[in-house]
């Protein structure tokens, strides 16, 4: 922050420390075609992983593996007030359980770490310093009370709340005076320039004139933490991300991100904004929907392959809409150019059928059947431990026999097993 404050009172000069070269004002909108494919899944640990997050992670994973690339897990934990204890570990553990572990992550490490944004604050301060020095950003001394009144007044007049850019034209003398009493201002990015059009790999050519509908956004808060807009640009650049596959709710914000790339003299990655996964009634998925939580579905005995199959089956990206695909088949058949803009409807009532398909595959393989026997032994003990009379029912040969005999009854769950985990209930 001290470096940043000194920059506020200094004449403008190019941010040479960040790799910008003379004449490189216009950053290309295409990623370097010769660069390796590097994608990232960047959730916020403000809740546990649900099916919507799993789907975004999966599309990134299969795109990376199809092109011999790298799948990165980055945790966007800059909002410390909303961080849920254990959520960060939960996300990485469940990605591994689902069979799509990251190549680089907070736990695994990697050449572009650290992978927690709260440990990368110096990089964001350097970027903010560069923006201020070139006049692309400025300090904002507006109090939370003033900003709240602006919002309240806009809503009262039935207008969209926006910052009025009050601090953008302060003189150096005024800035110096205000710094004396408020040495840690927020930093806002100037939305002066026309937003560039860009070719989204899902939505096609797109342009959003954000400056006409929004005030200058905060990119660095007074506590030294970045907002999403600055953090994702800085991290994607320094981590060498080649393609950003994220939800379509970020499509409009991409205009701001491209302006930030341009101001910093960096080449942006390619963008693909994926259609949202929504409930069967069209409503948005929520982290508060317990039945969508991956941890709960895993505990209920649903197979990872069944979940991966279902969340891709209800969307697009494949030549044919079929059930029963394995992860290897998803990788081989995925085609990003086939992803459409339409939201994907999630029907959880179909999940047991997906589970049955993948259970049949497990049973038909002798190697995988033995692994299933081990899992079922654990499930039986967990579900009926206090009711078991002896250990004969847990004998591997007996469990395997039950599995093979049960195949003829698939589709008709046993009444006495209706409260058992779903993997067990199918036997």
Which residues are catalytic, by number?
A: 287
Residue 75 contacts residue 91 (beta carbons within 8 Å): yes
CA 350, 360, 65, 77 torsion-angle sign: positive
Distance CA 160, CA 140 (A): 21
DSSP 256-319: HHHHHHHHHT----EEEEEPPEEETTSPBP-TT-GGGBHHHHHHTT--HHHHHHHHHHTS-SSS
Structure tokens at 96: 């591994």
Cβ count within 10 A of residue 343: 16
Instruction: Collapse the DSSP code of 361 into the 3-class scheme (helix H, G, I; strand E, B; otherwise coil) and give the result.
Output: helix
Residue 111 contacts residue 164 (beta carbons within 8 Å): no
Q: Which helix (H) or strand (E) holds 200?
A: strand 198-200
Backbone angles phi, psi at 259, to 5 degrees: -65, -35
Question: For residues 252-267, b (16+ Cβ closer than 10 Å) or e, as one string?
Answer: ebbbbbbbbbbbbbbb
Residue 400 contacts residue 363 (beta carbons within 8 Å): no
């Amino acid at each position: 922050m001290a470096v940043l404050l000194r920059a506020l009172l200094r004449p403008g000069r190019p941010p040479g420390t960040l790799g910008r070269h003379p004449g490189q004002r216009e950053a290309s909108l295409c990623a370097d075609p010769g660069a390796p494919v590097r994608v990232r899944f960047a959730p916020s640990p403000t809740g546990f992983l649900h099916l919507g997050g799993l789907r975004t992670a999966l599309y990134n994973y299969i795109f990376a593996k199809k092109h011999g690339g790298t799948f990165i897990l980055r945790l966007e934990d800059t909002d410390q007030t909303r961080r849920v204890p254990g959520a960060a570990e939960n996300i990485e553990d469940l990605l591994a359980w689902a069979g799509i572990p990251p190549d680089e992550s907070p736990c695994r490490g990697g050449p572009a770490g650290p992978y927690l944004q709260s440990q990368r604050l110096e990089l964001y301060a350097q970027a903010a310093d560069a923006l201020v020095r070139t006049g692309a950003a400025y300090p904002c001394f507006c109090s939370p009370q003033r900003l709240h009144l602006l919002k309240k007044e806009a809503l009262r007049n039935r207008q969209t709340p926006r910052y009025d850019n009050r601090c953008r034209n302060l003189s150096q003398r005024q800035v110096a005076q205000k710094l004396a009493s408020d040495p840690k201002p927020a930093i806002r990015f100037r939305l002066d320039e026309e937003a560039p059009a860009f070719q989204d790999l899902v939505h096609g050519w797109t342009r959003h004139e954000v400056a006409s509908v929004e005030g200058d956004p905060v990119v660095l808060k007074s506590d030294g933490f970045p907002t999403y807009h600055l953090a994702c640009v800085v991290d994607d650049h320094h981590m060498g991300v080649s393609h950003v596959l994220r939800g379509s709710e970020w499509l409009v914000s991409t205009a701001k991100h491209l302006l930030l790339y341009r101001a910093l003299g960096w080449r942006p990655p390619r963008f693909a904004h994926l259609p949202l996964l929504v409930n069967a009634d069209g409503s948005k998925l929520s982290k508060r929907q317990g039945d969508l939580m991956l941890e709960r579905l895993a505990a209920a005995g649903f197979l990872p392959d069944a979940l991966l199959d279902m969340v891709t089956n209800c969307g697009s990206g494949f030549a044919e809409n079929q059930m029963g695909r394995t992860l290897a088949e998803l990788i081989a058949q995925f085609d990003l150019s086939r992803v459409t803009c339409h939201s994907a409807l999630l029907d959880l009532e179909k999940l047991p059928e997906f589970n049955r398909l993948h259970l049949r595959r497990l049973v038909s393989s002798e190697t995988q059947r033995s692994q299933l026997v081990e899992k079922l032994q654990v499930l039986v003990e967990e579900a009926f431990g206090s009711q078991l009379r002896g250990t004969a029912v847990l004998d591997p040969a007996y469990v395997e026999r039950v599995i093979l005999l049960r195949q003829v009854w698939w589709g008709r769950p046993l009444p006495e097993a209706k409260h058992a985990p779903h993997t067990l209930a199918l036997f």
